Amino acid sequence: MLNCDIERISRIADAIKKSKNVVCITGNESVVECGKMNVWDDTNIFRVEKTYGKAPEEILSAGEFSTRKERFYNFFKKEVLGDLPKPGITYEVIKNMKDAGYLSSVIAFSIFGLEKMAGVEDVIELSGSVYDYYCCNCRKDYDLDYIKSFKGTVPLCDECDSAIRPSIRLFGERIQNDLNTQAAIACQKADIVLVLGVDLYGSKIQYCTSHYRGHNLILVTENEHFGDKYADEVIYTKSQDFMRCLWQHLSRD
Ligand SMILES: [Zn+2]
Distance 139 CA to ligand 1 centre (A): 6
Cα(73) to ligand 1 centroid in Å equals 18
Distance of CA 105 to the CA centre of its chain: 14
Please indicate, yes or no, whether residues 26 and 135 belong to a single structural domain of this protein. Answer: no
Distance 133 CA to ligand 1 centre (A): 11
- As a whole number of angstroms, the distance between CA 250 and CA 92 comes to 14
**Do 67 and 102 fall into the same domain?**
no
Ramachandran region, residue 128 (left: φ > 0; alpha: ψ -120 to 50; beta: rest):
left
Answer left, alpha or beta for residue 251, where phi above 0 means left and psi between -120 and 50 means alpha: alpha
In this structure, the answer to whether residues 198 and 163 fall within a common structural domain is no
| Statement to judge: residues 75 and 98 lie in one domain | no
- 136 and 25 in a common domain: no
Ligand 1 centroid distance, CA of 167 (Å):
14
Q: Are residues 28 and 97 in the same domain?
A: yes
Please tell me the distance between residue 164's alpha carbon and the centre of ligand 1 in angstroms.
8
pLDDT at site 44? 82
Pairing of strands 192-196, 217-221: parallel
**pTM of structure:** 0.92
pLDDT at 143: 97
Q: Are residues 190 and 115 in the same domain?
A: yes
Q: How many domains does the chain have?
A: 3
Say if residue 107 is in the same domain as residue 181. Answer: yes
**Cα-to-centroid distance, 123 and ligand 1 (Å):** 27
Q: At 73, which helix (H) or strand (E)?
A: helix 69-75
b or e along 144-171 (b: 16 or more beta carbons within 10 Å of the residue's beta carbon)? beebeebeeeebebeeeeebbbbbbbbe
What is the C-alpha separation between 159 and 135, in angstroms, rounded? 9
Q: What is the distance, to the nearest Å, from the Cα of residue 10 to the centroid of all Cα atoms in its chain?
A: 26
Determine the Cα–Cα distance for residues 248 and 155; give it in Å rounded to an integer: 45
Low-confidence ranges of the chain (pLDDT < 70): 1-4, 253
Could you tell me if 117 and 52 lie in one domain?
Answer: no
pLDDT digits 0-9 by tens, 81-110: 988 999 999 999 999 999 999 999 999 999
Please report the pLDDT score of residue 253 as a whole number: 67
Domain hosting 64: range is 37-79
Q: What is the pLDDT of residues 176-202, one digit of tens each?
A: 889 999 999 999 999 999 999 999 998
Residue 109 sits in the same domain as residue 193: yes
